[in-house]
């Protein structure tokens, strides 16, 4: 079979050469690319003759997939699959497998880091010092003792809850499925409206689907405390982002942190969160650590091996 890794996945050439030797010994061809190109003509050029392809979060619409007639398996170096036309894949015999679990620690740590930044205003104060200012009368807030709501208790939500409990926060949760192991940690499951009303911080950890799109909109934001913080390391469209920006600018919530948006950064100049008050933004990096990328490669190419050995 012809195996193609469409992008570098943050790996070095030496690691790819190991994979190349590995697949040659198995009797397969392996092609890899050391850059990331998202335009459709390049994707088609790279995948056109592949039976097996490896890709992360680059969009794969039907217009690309339809020009790859030999494709039979996609090993996706990402947790979510909403960037791939799964209906097309299902209808054309293309198996798709994600890399669940590789970034659990990375995302949960950034979520908590964003909470700490908002509470202690680390980013803002860094700018103040560089601008020649001192502390003045600034007072931060502590994470210990805060009530934090976890929306979605999958692997990442659960890992985030565990970190928060170690900080001494009270943790409550809302999820489609109540997990006994999460309750055993001391986390109380409540309704989503109750969670929004009681929490000092709300952290989102749900996948994007028809049920979760705009899960946090104007009605939900209206339930939150005026001092509450909203953290989104899940998917951008889980929130009505324009409504969040309005709530921030009107002082109806206290702050927000977003690592995800409706599109991949760079964002357009008129994006509502760019001008929103007390809003911390990072360019979709929660999953991106040296450790998570190493683990991701093991998972992704392990899946390829499993497919080839069927």
User: Looking at the annotation, which residues are catalytic?
Assistant: 235, 264, 284
CA distance 171 to 149: 6
**Cα 286 vs. chain centroid, distance in angstroms?**
6
Hey, what are 128's tokens? 């103040």
Hey, what are 120's tokens? 């202690």
Residue with tokens 């939900």: 220
Strand pairing of 201-204 and 188-189? unpaired
SS3 135: coil
Hey, what are 253's tokens? 């919530």
- Residue 266, preceding bond cis, omega within 30 degrees? yes
CA distance 87 to 66: 12
Rg of the Cα atoms in the chain: 21
Maximum distance among all Cα pairs of the chain, rounded to whole angstroms = 68
Residues 6+ apart with CB under 8 A from 13: 34
CA distance 297 to 10: 9
Buried b (16+ CB within 10 A) or exposed e, 214-239: ebbeeebbebbbeebbbbbbbbbbbb
């Amino acid at each position: 079979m012809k195996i193609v890794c469409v992008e570098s996945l943050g790996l070095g050439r030496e690691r790819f050469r190991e994979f190349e030797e590995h697949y040659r010994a198995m009797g397969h061809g392996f092609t890899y690319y050391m850059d990331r190109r998202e335009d459709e003509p390049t994707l088609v050029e790279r995948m056109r003759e592949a039976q097996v392809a490896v890709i992360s979060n680059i969009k794969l619409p039907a217009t690309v997939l339809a020009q790859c007639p030999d494709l039979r398996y996609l090993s996706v170096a990402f947790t979510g699959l909403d960037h791939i036309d799964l209906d097309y894949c299902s209808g054309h015999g293309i198996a798709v497998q994600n890399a669940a679990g590789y970034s659990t620690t990375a995302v949960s740590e950034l979520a908590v880091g964003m909470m700490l930044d908002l509470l202690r205003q680390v980013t803002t104060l860094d700018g103040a010092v560089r601008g020649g200012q001192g502390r003045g009368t600034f007072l931060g807030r502590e994470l210990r003792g805060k009530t934090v709501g976890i929306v979605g208790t999958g692997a990442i939500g659960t890992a985030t809850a565990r970190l928060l409990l170690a900080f001494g926060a009270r943790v409550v949760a809302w999820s489609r499925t109540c997990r006994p192991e999460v309750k055993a940690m001391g986390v109380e499951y409540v309704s989503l409206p109750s969670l929004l009303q009681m929490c000092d911080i709300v952290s989102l950890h749900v996948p994007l689907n028809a049920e979760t799109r705009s899960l946090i909109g104007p009605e939900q934001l209206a339930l939150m405390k005026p001092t509450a913080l909203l953290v989104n390391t899940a998917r951008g469209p889980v929130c009505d982002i324009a409504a969040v920006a309005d709530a921030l600018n009107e002082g109806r919530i206290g702050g927000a942190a977003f690592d995800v948006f409706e599109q991949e950064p760079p964002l357009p100049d008129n994006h509502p969160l760019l001008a929103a008050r007390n809003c911390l933004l990072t360019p979709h990096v929660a999953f991106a650590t040296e450790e998570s990328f190493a683990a991701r490669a093991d998972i992704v190419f392990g899946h390829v091996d499993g497919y080839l050995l069927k």
